[in-house]
Amino acid sequence: MEKTTILVIDDETNLLRFFEYNVKAMGYDVVTGERGGDFRRLIGEREYATVLLDMMLPDANGMDLLTEARQRYPEMPVILITAYGTIDKAVQAMKLGAFDFLPKPVDVDRLNTIIRNAVEQYSLRREVKTLRRHLEPPREFHGMAGSSPPMVEVYDMIEQVAPTNATVMITGESGTGKELVARAIHALSGRADKPFVAINCAAIPRDLLESELFGHERGSFTGAIDQYQGCFERAHQGTLFLDEICEMDLGLQAKLLRLIQEQVFYRLGGTRPISVNVRILSATNKEPAEMVRAGRFREDLFYRLNVVPIRLPALRERREDIGLIVNKFLFEFSRANGRRFQGFDLKALAAMERYPWAGNVRELRNVIEQIVVLNDGERVTLELVPEHIRTFRGGPVFSVAAASTPVGSGHAPAHEADGLDRIQPFWQTERDQIQTALDVCHGNVQEVARRLEISPATLYRKIEKYGLVK
């Protein structure tokens, strides 16, 4: 994905070869096309480091194409190739956000300079964006709470891939938020105002799944009383999310592959080919490569669907997000149930962070709901945390709760003897320090900031990031 690729669109074959030759000589990859239609298809597949676009194409207006490219990829520089006498239009194009224009006949030195500048600007813009995001990560992104590095990477991937038509396969354990990712990709794509159709391949029996996907004609099987539009038709121009894709029967997988390759399909019992424009996203909590090896997932379909893979981290791989997520749910459920909860105390939070959460965010959410429904108070204390979480032993053991909580089962963690239990991640040291200071200073943020020798703004950010109680 990171190889520098330049897209060149020109309908004069000789000129196109000339561009291709020169851009390759500069050390870049080149993709070429001759029509506006090619341009639309090619930018639908991916973003490019720079585009060289002929302003006069037989089937499209360069200005329109420029506008489309700017909307889809605001950071991608577009250089317009202009014929003699079109300087007015070139000026207009600059106003529409073209990076520069290149007059015909083309001067090789000028071509090289413009492309170098454009590529440099593109990579700088990308770098700045990535840096900014990692320095000040969002706490939430399209309903996903979390600001840990692996989640920020997921957000980056979503933003990069959303404007394309690429098929994306989302993997991750159960409850990690795969459906949220699919919805975010749709919401950030050019298809956002078109349907998002989700179908769970594991929840529907094989025969029903087939007619759910492809639809059926009246009388095509017993029970097919009316004609029925399947998911593919309903998702036309939008996005179809195939959840639990590895559970799909092999015969259906073959049909799905054919649809993807040929872009047309038939309703069950139908004779008329139906063609649709659908972007396909899929998800699985299995390891797809293993399912291919086991013969349960067609390899050719896997490659079609896995053009861009997005892997969601398990919750225990991003423990620093637990505080944030816990508080999000605590506030939501407290509001919904008329409770007063403001946050967790440190020991309760440490227990939540230590627990391995095999069911990931979904399990965490259920636990918070249970706590809120069964109790009330200002803070969730350790006593309110369900026993299996409170007494869990075996995860990374650190923090206040581990050091001072008498535990029913009485088993000491295995690594206590070697002193490993005394090591805790920096974020947790920081978090515990801040909470302790807040408690001691009775929530006086100015005072806490002064004593911790950080700015109040930084302190506020960290309080929010860790979901601390003032």
Ligand X SMILES: Nc1ncnc2c1ncn2[C@@H]1O[C@H](COP(=O)(O)OP(=O)(O)OP(=O)(O)O)[C@@H](O)[C@H]1O
Which residue ranges make up the site for ligand X (CB under 6 A)?
Answer: 144-146, 172, 174-180, 285, 325, 361-362, 365
Which parts of 26-107 fold into alpha helices (H)?
Answer: 36-45, 62-72, 87-95
Q: Which residues contact 447 (CB under 8 A, 6 or more apart)?
A: 441
Q: How far is the CB of 169 from ligand X (least distance, A)?
A: 13
Kindly provide the residue ranges of all beta strands, DSSP E only, lying in 332-447, ordered along the sequence.
343-344, 379-380
Nearer to ligand X, 102 or 180 (CB): 180
Nearer to Mg ion, 123 or 200 (CB): 200
Could you tell me how many residues of this chain bind Mg ion (CB under 5 A)? 1
Q: How far is the CB of 295 from Mg ion (least distance, A)?
A: 24
Which run of H or of E encompasses 77? none
Task: Find which of Mg ion, ligand X, none residue 361 binds, CB within 5 to 8 Å per kind.
Answer: ligand X
Helix, strand, coil fractions of the chain, as percent rounded to 5? 50, 15, 35
- Indicate if the alpha-carbon torsion angle 61, 65, 66, 67 is positive or negative: positive
Q: How far is the CB of 159 from Mg ion (least distance, A)?
A: 21
Task: Find which of Mg ion, ligand X, none residue 172 binds, CB within 5 to 8 Å per kind.
Answer: ligand X
| In contact, 380 and 341? CB cutoff 8 Å | yes
Q: How far is the CB of 182 from Mg ion (least distance, A)?
A: 9
Nearer to ligand X, 163 or 175 (CB): 175
Q: How far is the CB of 363 from ligand X (least distance, A)?
A: 9
Task: Find which of Mg ion, ligand X, none residue 325 binds, CB within 5 to 8 Å per kind.
Answer: ligand X
Question: In whole angstroms, what is the distance from residue 109 CA to residue 126 CA?
Answer: 26
Task: Find which of Mg ion, ligand X, none residue 213 binds, CB within 5 to 8 Å per kind.
Answer: none
Task: Find which of Mg ion, ligand X, none residue 114 binds, CB within 5 to 8 Å per kind.
Answer: none
Q: How far is the CB of 311 from ligand X (least distance, A)?
A: 11
Binding of Mg ion by 179 (CB under 5 A): yes
Q: How many helices (H) and strands (E) does the chain have?
A: 20, 18
| In contact, 209 and 256? CB cutoff 8 Å | no
Task: Find which of Mg ion, ligand X, none residue 175 binds, CB within 5 to 8 Å per kind.
Answer: ligand X
Tokens linked to 449: 């900031």
Nearer to Mg ion, 179 or 464 (CB): 179
Nearer to ligand X, 33 or 172 (CB): 172
Helix (H, G, I), strand (E, B) or coil at 78: strand
Q: How far is the CB of 354 from ligand X (least distance, A)?
A: 19
| In contact, 376 and 339? CB cutoff 8 Å | yes
Question: In whole angstroms, what is the distance from residue 53 CA to residue 430 CA?
Answer: 52
Task: Find which of Mg ion, ligand X, none residue 52 binds, CB within 5 to 8 Å per kind.
Answer: none
Token look-up 């002064």 returns 450
Nearer to Mg ion, 75 or 179 (CB): 179
Instruction: Please choose, from the candidates 429, 353, 366, the residue with its C-alpha nearest in 3D space to the C-alpha of residue 396.
Output: 353
Helix (H, G, I), strand (E, B) or coil at 50: strand
Nearer to ligand X, 202 or 374 (CB): 202
Task: Find which of ligand X, Mg ion, none residue 238 binds, CB within 5 to 8 Å per kind.
Answer: none
Residue window 81-120: x/- pattern of binding to Mg ion, with contact defined by CB under 5 A? ----------------------------------------
Q: How far is the CB of 400 from ligand X (least distance, A)?
A: 25
Phi-psi label, residue 312: left if phi above 0, alpha if psi -120 to 50, beta otherwise:
beta
Question: In whole angstroms, what is the distance from residue 360 CA to residue 285 CA?
Answer: 12
Residue number, nearest CB to ligand X: 177
Nearer to ligand X, 44 or 138 (CB): 138
Nearer to ligand X, 203 or 208 (CB): 203
Helix (H, G, I), strand (E, B) or coil at 217: coil
What's 96-109 look like in SS3?
CCCCEEEECCCCHH
Task: Find which of Mg ion, ligand X, none residue 211 binds, CB within 5 to 8 Å per kind.
Answer: none
Where does this chain bind Mg ion (CB under 5 A)?
179
